[in-house]
Structure 1
Amino acid sequence: MFPGATADRSSAKYVVVGAPLDVSTSFQPGTRFGPDRVRRFAETYDDYDHRTDQFFSELDVHDAGDVRAWDDTPDYVEWLRGTLTDVVWDDAVPVTVGGEHTVSAAGVAAVDPDVFVCLDAHLDLRDDYDGNPWSHAAVTRRILDGWPGESDVPTVDGVVVLGARTGSPEEWERAAAADVTVVPPEAVSEWTPDFGDDTSVYLSVDIDAADPAFAPGTGTMEPFGLTPREMRDVVRAVAPYVRGFDVVEVNDRDDGQAAALAGKLLREFVFSHADQS
């Protein structure tokens, strides 16, 4: 159980769902251990948040456990979508803990937001990676342009990628379109959301947005990244618009730095979202 997630499912305003998918990782696998590590390394955090004057355990957070993963990615993502849709239908906010970034496609399909905002070192705008359209390297493309062979899956009106610092020529070409905004690492501290009051957002935190000095436990490290404070500030700023949240790409290849950061950012989201409710 995520520490402090003590609410019953029936009364929950936030529902944590683990999604330990670890199929398409292209360098260092281990995201199957992500949900458990995030829970474990959040155990030391105080229940009380001085900034918002709230106790995490009083914010009606429920941990629904993990949706066990298998190796048929499209089938798993569809099943996960159903689980997260149930959370939405119960008027709660789904909070997914990955798992590889592919699981964000399920969260976005369940929430059906206007805009997808993600903290990420990579553009993830490939149409496929090594012939696989369900690779973690193609997830933002799936969210933006749709799922292969599926016509009933909602897509977003726009994408904002914060902290991206690498991509293929084709990805940069897709990123130049009007429905994509890329904010490089050096500009993230100056970025502020300018969404309308009625704009709904899904916020995804790929832990590799952080410089690997802060979060080495991830599949594809990319230097010259963000600081934890910069990521925290984005989460706080975007939280008022958010209908669904995830933190992904934590693995077991460090001493807990990535998991500790992921758990802290998850808490920052809940505190910030609840504070404006």
Structure 2
Amino acid sequence: MFPGATTDREAASYVVVGAPLDATTTFQPGTRFGPDRVRKFAETYDDYDRRTDSRFSALGVHDAGDVRPWDDVEAYLDHLAAELRSVVYDDATPLLLGGEHTVTYAGVDAVDPDVLVVADAHLDLREAYDGNPWNHACVTRRCLDDLGVDRAVIVGARTGSEAEWERAADADVEVIPPEDAREWLDALDGEDAFGDDSVYCSVDVDALDPAYAPGTGTMEPFGLEPREVRDFVRAVAPYADGFDVVEVNDRDDGQAAALAGKLLREFVYAHAAGENGPGE
């Protein structure tokens, strides 16, 4: 169980779902261990958050456990989306723990947002990778082309194929490189940041510089700082109808998992404060 996720499923405002998919990792595998590893390294965090004056255990979080994958990735994603859609139907917010980034497709499918806002080192805009359109390197492309997402904002991206950069030049994609992330976050501060658009928030831990999160499948230097990703989650959370943190593996001493668990908590604190904060 994710620490502090003590609410019964029927009464939950937030539902944690693990998705330990590890089918298409192209360099260092191990994302099958990601959800449990995130839970483990979140055990030491204090329940109380001074910034929002709230307790995580009082915000209605339930941990529904893992949806175990199988070899057919497309079929698994359909099944995972159905599980997450049941959370949405119950007027709760899904919190997805990956697993490789491909699982974001299921979260987006369940939430049906207008905008996908993702922190990621990679564009993930390939039509296919090694002939497979369900590879983790294609997930943002699948969300745009197959699920009808109107726009993708990719924060922290610093690498991609030539074809991906050409796709990123289209009007429905906005790329914020790491060096511009702070300026983008500052500009996002405001009640109408996304207008009337619904939002899904995804964090691939490889968005962070690998000095901070080495436990991930495809490390890419010159990435985001932990505080930048924390502030990214805090800024987007009040507008988001779903959240995931993905690509954590077991190839470090817990740095990536500790960050992922903290980011999930930051999302809940900020989301709850945005909807039910003082004066609202």
The match for 2:24 is: 24
Report whether the alignment pairs 1:179 with 2:177: no
1:221 Cα shift?
0.1
**Who is 1:166 aligned against?**
159
Gaps of 5+ in 1: 147-153
Percentage of matched positions with identical amino acids: 72
Q: Deviations over 1:4-26 (max 9, x none)?
A: 00000000000000000000000
* Residue number in structure 1 paired with 2:104: 104
TM (norm. structure 1) is 0.96
- State the alpha-carbon separation in 1 of the partners of residues 112 and 46 from structure 2: 33
Distance 2:246 2:258 in 1: 13
Matched, 1:191 2:187: no
CA contact (8 A) 1:109 1:155 kept: no
- Aligned mates of 1:239, 1:36 — CA distance in 2: 23
Aligned-pair CA distance for 1:276: 1.3
Deviations 1:63-109 (A, max 9, x none): 00000011110000000000000000000000000000000000001
The amino acid that maps onto 2:215 is G
> How many Å apart are 1:178 and its aligned residue?
0.4
1:6 maps to 6
Give the 5 Å matches for 1:125-274.
Answer: 125-146=125-146, 154-192=147-185, 193=188, 195-274=193-272
Task: State the alpha-carbon separation in 1 of the partners of residues 99 and 263 from structure 2.
Answer: 16
Distance 2:239 2:157 in 1: 22
Secondary structure of the corresponding residue to residue 10 of structure 1: helix
What secondary structure is seen at the aligned counterpart in 2 of 1:21? coil
CA deviations on 1:106-158 (whole Å, 9 max, x unpaired) are: 00010000100000000000000000000000000000001xxxxxxx32110
In the aligned structure 2, how far is the partner of 1:121 from the partner of 1:83?
A: 28
Which string of whole-angstrom CA distances, capped at 9 and with x for unpartnered residues, describes residues 194-232 of structure 1? 634422100000000000000000000000000100000
What CA distance in whole angstroms lies between the structure 1 residues aligned with 2:90 and 2:195? 23
| CA–CA separation in structure 1 for the residues paired with 2:116 and 2:232 | 13
Query: Match of 1:246, as an amino acid?
Result: D
RMSD: 0.7
Separation in structure 2 between the aligned mates of residue 204 and residue 256 of structure 1, nearest angstrom: 20
Q: CA offset at residue 240 of structure 1?
A: 1.0
Q: Which residue of 1 aligns with 2:278?
A: none
Paired AA for residue 224 in structure 1? F
Alpha-carbon distance in structure 1 between the residues aligned to 2:82 and 2:69: 14
Q: Distance in 2 between matches of 1:198 and 1:165?
A: 29
If the length of structure 2 is used for normalisation, what is the TM-score? 0.95
Deviates more, 1:168-177 or 1:193-202: 193-202
Residue by residue, what CA displacement relative to the aligned partner does 1:31-60 show, whole Å, maximum 9, x if unpaired? 000000000000000000000000000000
- Amino acid of the structure 1 residue aligned with 2:201: L
Once the two structures are superposed, the pairs formed by residues 23-172 of structure 1 within 5 Å of their partners are 23-146=23-146, 154-172=147-165
After alignment, is 70-79 or 191-200 more displaced? 191-200
Unaligned stretches of 5+ in structure 2?
276-280
Distance (Å, rounded) in 1 between the aligned partners of 2:214 and 2:240: 27
CA distance in 2, matches of 1:116, 1:255: 31
User: Aligned equivalents of 1:238 and 1:66: distance in 2?
Assistant: 25
